[in-house]
Amino acid sequence: MPIKKKAIFVNSSFLKTNTRFHCTDIQLFMKQNESSKTVNDTDLPNSSSIAGSKLMEVMASFSKIELREILKFLRSPFFNQRNDVVLLFEYLAASMSDSTLSLDKVSVHKQVYQGQDYDEKQLRYTVSFLFQQLKSYLTQKEIMADPIQNQLLTIKALRKRSLQRVFESEWQQGKKALDAQLLRNSDTHFLQYNLYHEQLLHTLSKTRTAAPGFEEISKELSQFFIANILHQSCVALSYQTVSKLDFLPAILPHVLQHLAEHDYSEVPAIQVYHCCFLMLKGVEPLANFQTLRNNIQRFQGHFPKSELKDIHLLALNFCIKKVNEGSIPFRKEAFELYKSGLDSGVFLEDKHLSRFTYKNIVAIGLGLNEFEWVKQFIESFKPFLEKKYRESTYNFNLALYHFKRAEYTEAMTLLQRVGTDDVLNNMNARRMLLRIYYDLGETEALQSLLDSFQTYIYRKKDLGYQRDLYLNLIRFTRKLLNIEPKDTTANQQLRQEIAATERVAEKEWLMEKLVK
């Protein structure tokens, strides 16, 4: 094993020619001025109503609290000096909870410009102004939600005004706040880079004889770059399970070579995604999975919940793929990952649990015969499902629960309440019916299902490895139906063929149906 050198960093000489590569310019305060605002009257559709406009699409995303905040925002003369914009917003906000208020253009214009003749151009401009203000509100909200990014913007503004003493004080406060936080993901390295870069620009504006921070700039930029290349590569490899397209970054081989020669074991953002990449790439997958699992526990406080969820999902997708390929030990690994993720709350986003995560947890738990735990989970987390898919998802997973307990009548009744819009849900429902028909001896119904199932799969082009899993299930089920139960030789040959095939859905079940 080659001895690893102390980590070195990407040369930052590019700063000599590109000193503008720093914290993104976001105007902190945006004062409306008709001469500076870009008015786009295409924000209003050509139909007689504004219901389908981009403005109403954005409006529909706001909570009641946000609608009250926006009203205060629009009433501030610093941001808006047009009363018609306020009136338009108030009317549209009211229409969201009162269906009797018309969104017809003429009706809206009448409410905003009482006593005036209808002027569509006037309404178009007002709609556009309001749309611009809502975007400004969203930008403000993002800035206010990130105090460290806010501090960086303040530091930048002070540097531009050459306020040396205040700059240095605020810079120290920013550095202290950044060092004090637990987060150590790639975004943290980029914030550190921006902070040191502001210090460098400040120093260079005063003197050319001293330029502190070059080493820190190079270090933070390198770690940010490497971590993001690895992260993007993990996402690309995971996506390849459902698509044959190659999205790996062209510079990845150089990054991997650099990692082979230098030690980043104490950099969470690099350590986590490096072992994750190796696992997904198939390099000692079991060992690297175990390393990833340990790193999730070790470094979980260094990542925001949204990113920690993504890391869990990368590990879980790998486990599920292995389970589908017949690697049984990964079922328990996936179950423990799901349980720890539920305990830490990483799977909840805006108080919602993805229906896919819900289904996977049920399937993995039932595969381990954790019936009591699964039943409690199905009921406890139903309210966290998105309302649009709640009943369909709940019914499918409850059907799966009854199916695993051989309660076929209950399972088939529940399957009738499951929607068919979701491709994977559709295939899983057919997969369940396949087993039910076989176990009940409904040969004619099973043959018909196999034919329609195969046709359905052939019509779907972007199924990735799922395509092979289900086509092999159909193929082997047909062979199973054509074998005489007492034909030991034929049974053994089919067992061997199934065992030798890498991708087979319901592999265990097929093997159980054959004489050993």
Model confidence pLDDT, tens digit, residues 280-307: 999 998 899 999 999 998 998 999 998 9
Q: What does the mean pLDDT of the chain come to? A: 87
Res 471 pLDDT > 60: yes
Q: What is the pLDDT of residue 9?
A: 42
Q: Give pLDDT, residue 488.
A: 86
pLDDT at 242: 64
Q: What is the pLDDT of residue 209?
A: 67
Torsion, Cα of 116, 119, 122, 126 (10° steps): 80
Tokens of 267: 């950099």
State the pLDDT confidence band at 514, using cuts at 50, 70 and 90.
confident
Q: Which residues pair with 49 in a beta bridge?
A: 104
Angle, in degrees to the nearest 10, between helices 186-206 and 147-160: 10
% residues pLDDT > 90 (the chain): 67
β-strands 352-353, 348-349: how paired? antiparallel
Across 274-278, 312-316, 342-346, 348-352, which has the greatest mean pLDDT? 274-278
Is the pLDDT confidence value at 20 over 80? no
- The band of 40, judged by pLDDT with boundaries at 50, 70 and 90, is low
The pLDDT of residue 30 is above 60: no
pLDDT bracket for residue 516 (50, 70, 90) = low
pLDDT at 421: 72
Residue 37 in this model has a pLDDT that exceeds 50 = no
> How many whole angstroms separate alpha carbon 32 and alpha carbon 22?
26
pLDDT (average), residues 84-92: 96
Is the pTM above the cut of 0.75? Answer: no
Average pLDDT of the segment spanning 492-504: 91
pLDDT of amino acid 35: 38
Q: Is the pLDDT of residue 13 over 80?
A: no
pLDDT for 246 beyond 80? no
For 373-415, the pLDDT digits (tens) are: 999 999 999 999 998 889 889 999 999 999 999 999 999 889 8
Interval 95-120: pLDDT, tens? 999 999 999 999 999 999 999 999 99
Stretch among 1-10, 78-87, 177-186 having the lowest mean pLDDT: 1-10
Confidence of residue 321 (pLDDT cuts 50, 70, 90): confident
d(CA 493, CA 499): 10
Q: What percentage of residues in the chain have a pLDDT greater than 70? A: 89
Q: Which of 414, 316, 397, 405 lies closest to 359, judged by CA?
A: 397
Tokens of 157: 């503004």
SS3 content of the chain, % helix, strand, coil (to 5): 65, 0, 30
Residue range 51-73: average pLDDT?
A: 95
Has residue 1 got a pLDDT over 60?
A: no
484-509 burial, b at 16+ Cβ within 10 Å, e below that, comes to: eeeeeebbeebbeebeebebbbbbeb
Residue 251 confidence (pLDDT) above 90 = yes
Check residue 211 and give its pLDDT.
Answer: 63
Q: Is 270 exposed, middle or buried (0-12, 13-18, 19+ CB in 10 A)?
A: buried
C-beta separation of 155 from 170 below 8 A: yes
Cα 402 from Cα 503, distance rounded (Å): 26
Tell whether the torsion through CA atoms of 367, 515, 511 and 412 is positive or negative. negative
pLDDT(169) > 70: yes
